[in-house]
Structure 1
Amino acid sequence: MEFRDVVRQRRMVRRFSGEPVDPETVDRLLDHAVRAPSAGFTQGWSFLVLTTDEERDRFWAAATPPDSARDLSTWLAGMRTAPVLIVALTSKTAYVGRYAEPDKGWTDRDEARWPVPYWHVDAGMASLLMLQTAVDEGLGACFFGVDGGRVAAFRDAFDVPQEWSPTGVVAVGHPEAGGAKGSPARRRRKPMDDVVHRGAW
């Protein structure tokens, strides 16, 4: 598939068929993910791959809030059909430590030196490569976050060390025909003139 087609066809898929995903395809998603750029080539990411019924059920039990201001039942019913969940995690410690090395020289390890948390930026870039690879493989995927109040339960459920924080989750599978529409069905894409500023704002 042409790259421009991958970009234009990428959508957040929220309901999947029962067809399994080839393990070799999952490996390709991960191989592409680790090709993402990372600040200082820190590569401070890790990926928790959940493919069995038990693993996915454990994830949803740990990550689902007991109540929500918004009704999540339809979203959850669709997302729970994904046969593969890949949790993208990142380590702030890895980045702060990397930039305290001699070629970077921030020996004080002061987090305030970072204008934005690039550990999450880099994990997000890796996640986007997985989303694009899914399209290239003829699959659907959706990126979503772990509720802040459920991170501790998620860590406990999968023995994730405290150093590692989930940036988000990539759900992957074969899209179900006529699956749920997301926000793009309710909102127009902004015109380029509204978002691109050339030379000055």
Structure 2
Amino acid sequence: MDLLEAIRKRRSVREYTGEPVDDAVLRELIEAAVQAPSAINQQPWTFVVIKDADRLAQISRKAKSHLLKASLSEPAHSFREMLNDPDFDIFYHAPALVVIAAADPTDWAVEDCALAAENLMLAAYAMDLGTCWIGFAQNWLATPEGKAELGIPATYAPIAPIVVGHPRRPPPPVPRKNPDILWIDAQTHCA
């Protein structure tokens, strides 16, 4: 698959079939993730893979409860009804969750892990898999209880919880805004 095609067509998937994702495929996605650039080549990431549906459902419930107890910002306030729905699964019943965590608290660990996440998501799309970065999970996973649930040390920082699975249907295209570009060249003069 052409890289630019993958960049233009990859979308967040929120409907998955029940088909599991093979461990070898998940390993291949992680191998793609670690090809991402990282500041000073520190490669601060570690990967936690959860494929247990009961565990994922438990994490979903705990993350929803945590979000509802936290003071939601005004834009997130609209999610309150969804988060209160006991049938709403923040992981959309995907068969796998890959959490990219910063193992080393470097100055650019968040950016490095986000670059690895993008590589993983693009590689998944190229393999006809769907992904979605689950922002609803981030705050709870960063708590001591969340880290313990993942079995990671207290000093690690979970950055990117990404679900992976077989899409039930392709998500519709999403319009993109035209980029706002400020060109600075030899002819540009700043006051």
TM-score (norm 2): 0.78
- State the secondary structure of the residue aligned to 1:154: helix
Counterpart CA distance in 1 for 2:100 and 2:88 is 19
Runs of 4+ in 1 over 6 A off after TM superposition: none
Confirm or deny that 1:138 pairs with 2:128.
Answer: yes
Matching residue of 2:36: 36
Out of 161, 178, 191, the residue aligned to residue 191 of structure 1 is: 178
Q: Which amino acid aligns with 1:135?
A: Y
CA distance change for structure 1 residues 44 and 176 in 2, over 3 Å: closer, same or farther? same
Percent identity of paired positions between Structure 1 and Structure 2: 24
State the secondary structure of the residue aligned to 1:18.
Answer: coil
RMSD after superposition: 2.6
1:161 offset after TM fit, Å? 0.7
Worse-superposed segment, 117-126 or 64-73: 64-73
Number of residue equivalences:
172
TM-score by length of 1: 0.75
Q: Which among 74, 81, 91 is matched to residue 93 of structure 2?
A: 81
**Over residues 44-98 of structure 1, what are the superposed CA-to-partner deviations in whole Å (9 max), with x where a residue is unaligned?**
11110011223323432443335263233479437331001000101343x3xxx
Q: 1:155 aligns with which of 147, 167, 171?
A: 147
Per the alignment, in what secondary structure is the counterpart of residue 24 of structure 2? helix
* Pair 164,150 (structure 1): closer, same or farther in 2 beyond 3 Å: closer
Q: Look up the match of 1:2.
A: 2
Partner residue in 2 for 1:90? 102
Q: Which amino acid counterpart does residue 142 of structure 2 have in structure 1?
A: V
Q: How does 1:55-74 map to 2 (within 5 A)?
A: 55-66=55-66, 67=68, 69=77, 70=79, 71-73=81-83
Quick one: structure 1 residues 15 and 79, their matched pair in 2 at CA, closer, same or farther if it must change by over 3 Å? farther
